[in-house]
Amino acid sequence: MNDVIILGSGPGGLTAALYCARAGKSTLVLGGNTLGGQMSTIAELENYPGFLGSGAALSEKMKSQAEMFGAKVIFASVKVIKNKESGFAVITDDGKEYESRAVIIATGASPRKLEIAGTREFMGRGVSYCATCDGFFYSGRNILVIGGGNSALNDALYLANIAKSVKILYRKDSFARAEKVLIDRVNATENIFVMWNTELAEVGGDDSGVTFATTTGGDKIDCDGVFVAIGHEANTDYLPESIKRDELGRLIPEELPAGMFVAGDVRSGLKMQIATAVGTGCDCAMDAVAYLNRK
């Protein structure tokens, strides 16, 4: 029996692990398939205080620090959570069961899928949701980036160093949600072009992969790849429907049952930043420790 099980190994989960372990609680992190979650896909961090480097490097540092105080990290994903008289039972995708007196949910969010003709057919053959994962395959080629927030602009800037040309397609007439520093960099990058008030209707190609995309206005754009960055959806499918979510599917801390806490991008009302994930990881870990001390 663990004192606390933390679901997710992103910045929220690893921060929670550090605080719980330092408080002397037996702490198990079920880290999913990838250490760091969305953080691990960031090629270069500029806005996390005191650290300059890749998200993957910061993930390793956070994991090592939590382990230094006794936290244990296992790479498995939660499939089901069950209530037990003593707390909770967590069943993972490999069929194993782990028990704890408290659970911290930090499973983050996954990229929202672009549901138009061709995106499923060409997934992995020209359609991607991860620029740092797949950008290497598009060296010297012409690609599209779909979206207009920070994620889309960061992806475009990263890909501009690899691809021949990058076209950002955005459904609005300005980058109202993006940071000015990113907008300025996009505007200053010679091989990035912006198509305003534009949405895709179809992605097409042949056996070799994507070769074109068609807009809702009927225009055909020749391209070799499409990178999608249109937001995220909370990872909460393993939870019962009785647990209340907000309009974006994220968890509301006050609505969770006793002994269950939430951190990071899966938490309602949170701006999706590493710094805010770390803050909520600290916050809910301290609440979890107080809860355990009362029992």
* Catalytic-role residue among 93, 94, 134, 246: 134
Query: Which of 116, 148, 151 is closest to 130 using CA atoms?
Result: 151
Please enumerate in sequence order all residues whose Cβ is within 8 A of that of 5, keeping only pairs 6 or more positions apart, or say none: 28, 29, 30, 88, 90, 98, 100, 102, 103, 104
- Residues for the chain: how many in total? 295
What's the per-residue H, E or C state across 185-210?
HHHHCCCEEEECCCCEEEEEEECCEE
Per the listing, tokens 């929220």 go with 12
Judge contact between 92 and 176, C-beta under 8 A. Answer: no
Return d(Cα 212, Cα 209) in angstroms, integer: 9
Place of tokens 């990838």: 34
Known catalytic membership, residue 282: no
Question: Is-catalytic flag, 134?
Answer: yes
Options 3, 93, 94, 130, the catalytic residue: 130
Among 107, 112, 108, CA closest to 232: 112
Structure tokens at 216: 């809702």
**Which residues have a catalytic role annotated?**
130, 133-134
